[in-house]
Structure 1
């Protein structure tokens, strides 16, 4: 009976997860003259480790490529009167109707890194760059349209760069997707190095979601081990609904070195996608599901200088409660207006309106709360103590964000 119950739970959640992926296709550009009054355009650079699909409707498949690709894409956003902030309005017909649908206006493959750097120069926004790394069960077009929505709704004054990794966008290919993030670590690291070395870039914010947070952390960890530090232009790292084993995150954090970016984590205890991930991953707590008001998490997040925003009480149209960071108007604006511009959530001069102030002050139960604050001098290392490692770690073993017991080994 216990086995049958487990199978039933997995099947139920899998059906729900299947609804997360977007529609297939719609990457063929509509005529730019088809844009209607009131629409907005988001232009982004897309780097990918996916294999070209050979189909202009999809551009790239979910299979892995031995070489990276760069693409310039422009996306049209419907007028404000025709859409709800936080939503991606998928086309119902082909070609899309820009007056009511998200629509691609332009696609241009770039032949080299130099072409990408020229694009960066032409789209420079005071040197601010945001790199978005999507999560599990995403097609190429899912990631493009979601990032366009985030950039538009957050009003972030940034140069948007999407890093999309090979996801087959099938629920039962969870393990394939996870291995694809490992496959893509060096690709993301190289992209971040290019941005670090670009004279037009002054600061970089990484926004990663779900399984993409694993890829982001692994790339930063690899960079730190290889170079002795995380690239200094990477000032902010935002992990939204991170699908990371809490013990593994502790180890990743410890290997980022002494000088770390500002970290902000969005969590939600009602995240059903992470509940399934925990179920199939040895019943170890996922970082994106912790209650940051509980000990030892609260004290240790504070000591580490990690800001955690609890979105459990935020309501969204997502049945899985896994995409609140992008669907909540207050949160997406918080990302755009504060985090991207290098401000922490705990500044005393919060003037972004009553909703955002309530988030920061922790007084808006319907919006969310900051349960851990950024401290002036974060500790250098975060990991389990030797005794806790012998006990197996985990959320009930007294996880300590403290001194590492062994140094990181250089790559071989």
Structure 2
């Protein structure tokens, strides 16, 4: 039986392993450097099932998010994982935002996303505390326990006898006699093909495998607050601002989680370590790589004012609360408590542009997923099918 090694035990790596093993009958070994599954991006996200609203029509993100919003919900329901298709509002808080909201509505139509323009009165029926002059209602957005999805993937893989290794950091990769050998912290794994889903370290794994990836991972920390339990009633579902088309992120928003808590964020700042969830998490190696990469300085020049604003908001709960009050005026600084941060593995090109789509590179007996930030969790089963289609010919 053919054998594939998958590097990375986040939701994308486990979904790829599940697709190969459960749907295509291929033996799989999953290698995860941490002691548990979904320890990084998967375990530190907002739990949103994205509808596919924002992404460039025809892109991987657009197609896979739209399909993924159905497939991940179906998988969760089949496996007893908590999930709810609750819909969301994207709100224009002033007249100046209406043209961009209209642009977003046209993009939704092109992407096949069920979204409808609603009035202030209709928006207040969904969210009585919201402030807006108009909104888009996006029905297919949902919330899910992505950690539970990962556990379901792992359980189904284990039931079929596949090998799941935690604490198995990959230290070296080489091709040998028509196979791929991976040296790990606890032994050598030999396989017919390799799939790299290492997230924050995907570019490093590609380098170990002999590639020279055109993009490098730059870590951005997403900082969150949550509403105090007694103030959760201010938000019933998901409330997003109209995104600024000149910026690469969606802006601070409000999300009711599957456990009924309400998260607010994320603020986005450059992390000083690839797994830097706090300001004091610093890696000299990671900082040196960012500083040496020419794209960093070009990005900094392009978004200097925005970057300074994000850092200031990171330091000020008052500024953070003011951003949220644009959406829900009743929110006050005292309503917010710090929540767990996340780190986004964002691929950047040497010209300073952020890769705005999922990025895959293929080499003999290798497939590398080099950019899979949001909405990758939503699209994980679709990414898995795409990757599997490219792995199987190597096995022949």
Task: Classify the TM-score, shorter chain.
Answer: under 0.3
The TM-score with structure 1 as length reference comes to: 0.24
Larger RCO (alpha carbons 8 Å, 6+ apart): 2
The TM-score with structure 2 as length reference comes to: 0.25
Q: Which has the higher strand share?
A: 2
